[in-house]
Amino acid sequence: MGVKDLFDLTGKAALITGGSRGLGLQMAEALGELGARVGITARKQAELDEAVKHLSGKGIEAAAFACDLGKLEGIPALVDRVLARFGTVDVLVNNAGTTWGAPAEDHPAEAWRKVMSLNIDAMFLLSQQIGKRCMIPRRSGKIVNVASVAGLAGNPPGMQTIAYNTSKGAAVNFTRALAAEWGRHNINVNAICPGFFPTKMANGILSVIGDAVVAMTPLGRLGGDEDLKGAVAFLASEASRHVTGQFLAVDGGAWIAG
């Protein structure tokens, strides 16, 4: 098999949570450009419709599935809809997430639970559903969890996101644990740890510490519109078939330099 063939996703079905904008849409583009049929989920139907229009304009077969993953009881029904459309899921990208900014001593308990519910509970339950119903029976699958460099270290000065950081650290270890369990089923489970990208979620904190982040980043810039494409293409394809339980920081070197 040639190198280009290793990255070919023609005929595969991929599901990307939080896929209507930002990093999720960027990864949906990447997998679609490699030939995958792409399903995207998010809460807002209008944003999903716009994303499908964008992907279709690039010649990508795409479908939208509106779902609030924070409401965990709706996850099995979401999987029902995806399977009715695509028949299976070969690649699952757990990207949906949220954050909350507050000093640890004043962090609301309900906000902590909201972050953990979407960032960890939904990741687990959706992976469990896709694993049991698609990947384990077929003895094949790729799960890519979007963690964060925030899960690899503490907060830089000026950043007060203890729930988010904790959830992303949990996502890294969830990746290791699931990879160890499901390797016998020929399922690869890996994580991407993005640094700072100018997304809707990150723009608030970047307005405060953006200059400092760039200054401490060896490559001297924030992440861009195509900087996750190579990472997700690698981890979602046969190019990474002997890689599992790993995390890949995509942050311009800031985590190492810090």
Digit-by-digit pLDDT tens for the chain (258 residues) are 899 999 999 999 999 999 999 999 999 999 999 999 999 999 999 999 999 999 999 999 999 999 999 999 999 999 999 999 999 999 999 999 999 999 999 999 999 999 999 999 999 999 999 999 999 999 999 999 999 999 998 776 767 899 999 999 999 999 999 999 999 999 999 999 998 887 666 556 655 555 677 777 888 888 888 999 999 999 999 999 999 999 999 999 887 766
End-to-end CA distance of the chain: 40
* Residues paired with 228 in a beta bridge: none
Q: Is 164 a catalytic residue?
A: yes
pTM over 0.75: yes
Catalytic residue among 65, 112, 164, 234: 164
Q: Are 144 and 192 in contact (CB under 8 A)?
A: yes
Say which residue the tokens 């700072």 belong to.
Answer: 196
Domain regions of the chain by residue span: 3-248
CATH class of 3-248: alpha beta
Element spanning 42, H or E: strand 37-42
CA pair distance 90, 144, nearest whole angstrom: 11
| Exposed/middle/buried for residue 51 (C-beta within 10 Å: 0-12, 13-18, 19+) | buried
**Could you tell me the CA-to-CA distances from 161 to 106, 110, 158, 193, 245 in Å, in that order?**
11, 14, 10, 16, 25
**Which tokens in the block code for residue 174?**
């969830």
CA pair distance 181, 202, nearest whole angstrom: 33
